[in-house]
């Protein structure tokens, strides 16, 4: 892992990378500034070190921010208090650590519990409540809990989206053109009754009497019995002789 190079631009980013380097590779406090000065370009800064000597790492950070950034205590405090998570926990943590390092420049004795509570208060609502109820005792625990809850929320959102897409695929819609008739997707199981093609018959009184004596149907020539169903559904007219 190489030490980051500073060319006078993005001072805050460079300081954050240096602090991460020192976290991964332990460097004695008195060797941090000599190491960092090797990777700092620009005669302005080098001349400053020649005149005033090697400061401590915390003072060096303050010098760099004043030289290359418009660092103001009130502005740093305002940004730190107004910081809120807008995207992921990871991106929020990067910005939080950057502002935290600036706060520590002005106040080295900043309470760790205060920093942890500020981190929790800036989280999204669906993450903040869970982290607070777990009662973390330090910032590292709060970060772990925040990432865990973020993963759970994202998994739940993915599952919900999949269910919604599945339900949408099952829904059938009517034609968008209102002028078109709606055609059901099912077919009726019954068949329409066929109309009789037999001509209408007019029975005279004698024919009615004869059919009654022979126990025949008035409509067809088949024997009549209770429950008889005639093959021909016709309208018959009985005619009487005067």
**Local confidence band at 182 (pLDDT 50, 70, 90 cut-offs):** low
**What pLDDT was estimated at residue 149?**
96
**Local confidence band at 177 (pLDDT 50, 70, 90 cut-offs):** low
**How crowded is the C-beta side of 226, counted as CA atoms within 13 Å?**
0
pTM of the model: 0.51
Q: What share of the chain is helix, strand, coil (3-state, %, to 5)?
A: 55, 5, 40
**What pLDDT was estimated at residue 1?**
80
Q: Cα–Cα distances in Å, from 73 out to 77, 99, 228? A: 6, 11, 106
Mean pLDDT, the chain, rounded, equals: 80
Strands, DSSP E only, in the chain?
202-204, 237-239
- High-pLDDT (> 70) share of the chain, %: 78
Give tens-digit pLDDT for 108-160.
Answer: 788 889 999 999 999 999 999 999 999 999 999 999 999 999 999 999 998 88
**What pLDDT was estimated at residue 110?**
84
Phi, then psi, of 37 in degrees rounded to 5: -65, -25
66-81 mean pLDDT: 80
Contacts of 61 (CB under 8 A, 6+ apart): 15, 101, 105
């Amino acid at each position: 892992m190489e030490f980051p190079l500073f060319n006078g631009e993005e001072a805050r980013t460079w300081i954050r990378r240096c602090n991460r380097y020192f976290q991964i590779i332990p460097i004695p406090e008195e060797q941090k500034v000599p190491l960092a000065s090797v990777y700092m370009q620009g005669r302005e800064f080098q001349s400053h070190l020649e005149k005033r000597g090697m400061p401590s790492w915390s003072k060096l950070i303050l010098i760099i921010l004043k030289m290359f950034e418009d660092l103001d205590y009130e502005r740093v405090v305002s940004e730190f208090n107004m910081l809120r998570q807008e995207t992921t926990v990871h991106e929020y943590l990067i910005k939080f650590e950057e502002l935290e390092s600036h706060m520590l420049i002005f106040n080295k004795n900043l309470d760790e519990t205060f920093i942890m509570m500020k981190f929790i208060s800036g989280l999204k609502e669906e993450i903040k409540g869970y982290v607070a109820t777990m009662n973390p005792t330090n910032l590292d625990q709060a970060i772990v809990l925040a990432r865990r809850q973020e993963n759970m929320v994202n998994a739940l959102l993915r599952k919900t989206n999949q269910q919604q897409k599945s339900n949408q695929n099952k829904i059938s819609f009517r034609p968008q053109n209102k002028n078109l008739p709606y055609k059901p997707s099912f077919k009726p199981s019954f068949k329409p009754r066929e109309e009789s093609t037999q001509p209408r018959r007019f029975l005279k009184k004698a024919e009615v009497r004869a059919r009654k004596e022979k126990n025949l149907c008035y409509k067809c020539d088949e024997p009549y019995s209770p429950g008889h169903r005639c093959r021909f559904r016709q309208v018959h007219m009985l005619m009487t002789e005067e």
